[in-house]
A and B are shown apart, each in its own frame.
Chain A
Amino acid sequence: MVRINKDTPIGLEFTGKPKKMSWERLWAFSGGPFNQQGWPKKNLHTDTEFAKSMGLPTVGASATQYLGHMTELMIGLFGEEWLRHGKMRKIKFIKLVADGDVLTSKARVVSKKTEGLKIEYDLSISVKNQNNDEVLIGSAIGSIPAE
């Protein structure tokens, strides 16, 4: 992963590793602790029949699962320091993520400004599925030392 640095230009796009929303990973994220009796817990993220009873065509992954993918990309770009200052703004979850979908996080530099000893970057972010449909859109803010 290439880190953002003081020479990173506006317009540059970064792409995270594609991730398949397999049943195993859906269950691990939304099914409760592995040692819980009856794991995985049935809910609209983990059980097709449950999801259909709620009017969905199939299970829908928890949006926080792919918010986690995006956070991995942000930490890759800004380092662990992002966990001390990083922000995500105006995030919208705009499409159902189903079992088997393959998601890819993307971030594009929109602007940068020097503030004191830091350079702050504003990124346009999205998560897209295997059909190039956006499932998450929004923006992110992170900074690096100016020196």
Chain B
Amino acid sequence: MMSEKKSAHLIKVGEEFEPLEFLVTPEMNQQYLYAEEDFHPRYIEASPEGPPLVHPGILYNMSNNTRSPSFYLPPGWSEVHAAEETEFINPARVGKKIRVTWKVIEAFEKRGKPWHVLDILIVDEDGVQIMRRIMTNTFASLSL
């Protein structure tokens, strides 16, 4: 685990970004329903199986590694999301705390730019696995 912030593009294979924990409230969920223009009742109303489902848009956006408390890039740098593999494992439910972890599993240089492949796991407060992502990012800077 990283103990201090360093530029994300310098994180090495095997290192992890600081995990993120967040609570999905109905208000947060409904903000994403608006953003995604997807107002299906499954995200608003409870069912016999439990509280409303968390919209997948939240899971995607909050598991981008830019959400990690330790994510840092110097001014003038940005991270570009280039590719993705996603596996849904269980639905997440509103009212649960979600924990996201990020581990760098590949780092390489291509066309003069650094690239990272991240293994991302989302679990809820009960330890139920929600989603796994393999996210490929490159980094852009006006100086590159």
Which residues of A approach B to under 8 Å, CB–CB? Answer: 17, 19, 24-26, 28-30, 33-35, 44, 53-55, 62-65, 67-69, 71-72, 75, 80, 82-93, 138
| Cα distance A17–B31 in the bound complex, in angstroms | 19
Q: Tell me whether B90 and A83 are in contact (CB under 8 A).
A: yes
Check A86/B88 contact, CB under 8 A, given A62-B64, A64-B61, A68-B60: yes
- What are 26 contact pairs spanning A and B, CB under 8 A? A17-B37, A24-B34, A28-B31, A29-B32, A29-B35, A30-B61, A53-B76, A55-B142, A64-B61, A65-B35, A65-B60, A67-B84, A68-B57, A71-B60, A72-B36, A72-B38, A84-B88, A84-B90, A86-B86, A87-B85, A87-B86, A87-B87, A93-B81, A93-B82, A93-B83, A93-B84
Looking at the assembled complex, report how far the CB atom of B78 sits from the nearest CB atom of chain A, in whole angstroms: 5
Q: How many residues of B contact A (CB 8 A)?
A: 33
Q: Are B61 and A65 in contact (CB under 8 A)?
A: yes
Give B45-61 as 1s and 0s: 1 = Cβ < 8 Å from A's Cβ atoms.
Answer: 00000000101110011
Q: How far is the CB of B120 from chain A (nearest CB, A)?
A: 11
Q: Which 6 A-B pairs have the closest CB atoms?
A: A64-B60, A68-B57, A28-B35, A29-B35, A91-B84, A83-B91
When distances are taken between beta carbons in the complex, the residues of chain A under 8 Å from B10 are none
- Give the interface of B toward A (CB within 8 A): 27-28, 31-32, 34-38, 40, 42, 53, 55-57, 60-61, 64, 76, 78, 81-91, 140, 142
Q: Are A33 and B31 in contact (CB under 8 A)?
A: yes
The complex places the Cα of A69 from the Cα of B61 at a distance, in Å, of: 13
Number of A-B contacts (CB under 8 A): 105
Residues of A within 8 A of B86 (CB): 67, 86-88, 91
B83 in contact with A64 (CB, 8 Å): no
Chain B residues with Cβ under 8 A from A62's Cβ?
A: 61, 64, 81
